[in-house]
């Protein structure tokens, strides 16, 4: 029997699949923050392209059909590393770890239809059948308030709150009518550049510690439209690009005789203090400032990745990946939006938050079928980040199956390709006050990844 398994091509074949494995996963997870490029032997470089086509459809709470809201999404990943000597390594990685892309269309409560009566009925929770009833109620409440003031008395707070609430219903319906044809849309993108230094130690250099700084750029654009968002219809948020910094650290153990590698990687949170431009048209009707540019803190989450592989025989490799992201700690809380909701909710509301943490597991097998060709297959599971979940990303995790292959052009250059089929978990979409606004079932998608790599040992 050989003392060392000759299965290096298999590792890259599986990696070609993993670049697509977290597409449309829990929260805003996209790339999976893979660092496998840095853990390769010798001098190594790779370019990876991933394309995602998800189909996310459903029905709103009024029974209207929701067409596919998931926009096609793609991103790149790059990596380069080299061994300085048999102890130290350096590398640089680029990826796009977090993101979202959703665009509503059609005749549903996430697109402004311009039907004032329907808007009043929905936003009031059925309290009023039409705008006329709401206007009459508002006029009556204002008259009562005026009577108290005329007598030199302070109007009861409950009465003022009722009038404000009915006025908000009428105002939101008016805003919905003024934005007829406009649809809810969200786009979030991030880019990360990671510098790494590794140091091997142990009797046979079987251990390696690694770590370094991370620079991350974030930008976002959100538009809420339609009666589904109640008083927030017409709301806009634009986050100008911002770059801030974090760090990464990890530990690897390897045993080349059986092609065993195990790596545990931690990435820190990154605090972004961004300029947030907000517009909420309803506030103008209520006599308040309806737009502002202010500072907002967005903290992208920490994460832990565990990567494992071992040879089963000289031509077969088994792999396992586990990932954890604490989405329950994540929130986007724009100042104007949060402040405007304090009339009803004392703490105000987040625009986006999640109930649960994300767990992701992927198991794979790779087989070398020729000197220059390897194939692989994977199965995966993602827990999602809670259900109900934000209507801006109504997916509750997924199950996946994938296939991949790697072809060596010569001893240095290779190309890898992989594809995954994703079966998304059913989810109920909610708005920030936890009202259910839609049901999204029987959805799926696919992800494709292509990698070009160079290695010189």
Annotated domain spans of the chain: 8-107+192-456, 113-178
Compute the distance between CA of residue 302 and CA of residue 314 in angstroms, rounded to an integer.
37
Torsion of CA 310, 364, 31, 70, to 10 degrees: 180
Contact 348, 334 (CB under 8 A): no
Interval 46-59: pLDDT, tens: 999 999 999 999 99
Interval 181-229: pLDDT, tens: 999 999 999 999 999 999 999 999 999 999 999 999 999 999 999 989 9
Q: In this structure, what token pair is assigned to residue 443? A: 């959805």
Cα 94 to Cα 154, 190, 307, 408, distances in angstroms: 62, 11, 19, 24
287, pLDDT greater than 80: no
Compute the distance between CA of residue 389 and CA of residue 392 in angstroms, rounded to an integer.
8
Cα 349 versus chain centre, distance: 19
Mean predicted confidence (pLDDT) in 227-254: 94
Lowest-confidence pick of 17-26, 138-147, 182-191, 342-351: 17-26
Bridge partners for 196 per DSSP: 91
Residue recorded with tokens 């994460």: 303
Contact 14, 308 (CB under 8 A): no
Terminal alpha carbon distance of the chain: 24
Q: Is 33 left (phi over 0), alpha (psi -120 to 50) or beta?
A: left
Q: In this structure, what token pair is assigned to residue 396? A: 């509750």
Q: What contacts 444, CB < 8 A, 6 or more positions away?
A: 54, 55, 421, 422, 423, 424
Say what the pTM is.
0.90
341, pLDDT greater than 80: yes
- Closest-CA residue to 122 (of 354, 427, 431): 431
Interval 299-340: pLDDT, tens: 999 999 999 999 999 899 999 999 999 999 999 999 999 998
Interval 363-410: pLDDT, tens: 999 999 998 999 999 999 999 999 999 999 899 999 999 999 999 999
Contact 190, 96 (CB under 8 A): yes
Compute the distance between CA of residue 13 and CA of residue 7 in angstroms, rounded to an integer.
10
pLDDT value of residue 21: 41
Average model confidence (pLDDT) for the chain? Answer: 89
pLDDT value of residue 25: 61
Helix axes of 131-150 and 157-178: crossing angle, nearest 10 degrees: 140
Cα 249 versus chain centre, distance: 23
Lowest-confidence pick of 5-14, 283-292, 356-365, 373-382: 5-14
pLDDT value of residue 415: 96
- Compare 250 and 16 and report the one with higher pLDDT: 250
Q: In this structure, what token pair is assigned to residue 172? A: 């939101």
Q: Is 2.40.160.60 the CATH number for 8-107+192-456?
A: yes
Residue recorded with tokens 């708005």: 431
CA angle 29-33-34, nearest 5°?
135
Phi, psi (rounded to 5 degrees) for 343? -65, -30
Residue recorded with tokens 């989405």: 327
Output the 3-class SS for the chain. CCCCCCCHHHHHHHHHHHCCCCCCCCCCECCCCCCHHHHCCCEEEEEEEEEEEEECCEEECCCCEECCCECCEEEEEEEEEEECCCCEEEEEEEECCEEEEEECCCCCCCECCCCHHHHHHHHCCCCCCCHHHHHHHHHHHHHHHHHHHHCCCCCCHHHHHHHHHHHHHHHHHHHHHHCCCCECEEEEEEEEEEEEEEEEECCCCCEEEEEEEEEEEEEEEEECCCHHHHHHCCCEEEEEEEEEEEEEEEEEEEEHHHCEEEEEEEECCEEEEEEEEEECHHHHHCCCCCEEEEEEEEEECCEEEEEEEEEEECCEEEEEEEEEECHHHCEECCHHHHHHHHHCCCCCCCCEECCCCEEEEEEEEEEEEECCEEEEEEEEEECCCCCCEECCCCCCCEEEEEEEEEEECCCCEEEEEEEEEEEECCEEEECCCCCEEEEECCCEEEEEEEEEEEEEC
């Amino acid at each position: 029997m050989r003392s060392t398994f000759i299965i290096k091509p298999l590792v890259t074949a599986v990696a070609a699949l993993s670049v697509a494995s977290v597409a449309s996963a829990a929260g805003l997870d996209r790339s999976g923050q893979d660092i496998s490029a840095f853990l390769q032997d010798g001098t190594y470089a790779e370019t990876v392209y991933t394309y995602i086509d998800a189909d996310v459809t459903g029905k709103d709470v009024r029974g209207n059909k929701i067409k596919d809201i998931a926009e096609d999404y793609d991103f790149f990943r790059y990596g380069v590393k080299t061994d300085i000597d048999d102890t130290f390594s350096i590398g640089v990685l680029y990826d796009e770890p977090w993101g979202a892309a959703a665009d509503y269309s059609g005749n549903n409560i996430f697109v402004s239809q311009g039907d004032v009566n329907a808007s009043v009925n929905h936003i009031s929770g059925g309290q009023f059948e039409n705008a006329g009833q709401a206007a009459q109620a508002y006029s009556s409440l204002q008259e009562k308030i005026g009577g108290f003031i005329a007598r030199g008395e302070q109007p009861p707070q409950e009465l003022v709150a009722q009038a404000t609430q009915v006025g908000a219903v009428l105002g939101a319906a008016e805003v919905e009518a003024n934005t007829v044809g406009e649809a809810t849309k969200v786009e979030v993108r991030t880019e990360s550049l990671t510098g790494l230094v590794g140091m091997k130690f142990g009797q046979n250099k079987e251990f390696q510690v690694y770590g370094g700084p991370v620079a991350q750029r974030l930008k976002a654009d959100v538009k809420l439209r339609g009666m589904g968002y109640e008083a927030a219809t017409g709301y806009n948020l634009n986050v100008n690009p911002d770059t801030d910094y974090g760090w990464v650290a990890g530990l690897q153990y390897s045993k080349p005789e059986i092609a065993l590698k195990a790596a545990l990687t931690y990435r820190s949170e990154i605090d972004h203090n961004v300029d947030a431009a907000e517009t909420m048209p309803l506030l103008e009707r209520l006599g308040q400032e309806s737009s502002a540019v202010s500072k907002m803190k967005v903290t992208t989450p920490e994460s832990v990745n565990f990567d494992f592989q071992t040879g089963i025989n000289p031509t077969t490799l088994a792999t396992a990946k586990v990932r954890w992201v604490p989405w329950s700690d994540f929130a986007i809380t724009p100042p104007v939006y949060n402040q405007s909701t304090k009339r009803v909710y004392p703490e105000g509301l987040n625009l986006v938050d999640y109930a649960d943490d994300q767990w992701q597991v992927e198991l794979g097998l790779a087989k070398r079928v020729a000197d220059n060709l390897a194939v692989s297959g994977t199965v995966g599971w993602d827990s999602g980040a809670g259900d109900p979940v934000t209507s801006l990303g109504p997916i509750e995790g997924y199950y996946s199956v994938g296939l991949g292959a790697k072809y060596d052009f010569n001893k240095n250059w290779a190309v890898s390709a992989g594809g995954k089929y994703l079966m998304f978990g059913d989810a109920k979409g909610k708005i920030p006050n936890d009202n259910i606004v839609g049901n999204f079932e029987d959805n799926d998608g696919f992800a494709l990844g292509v990698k070009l790599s160079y290695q010189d040992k």
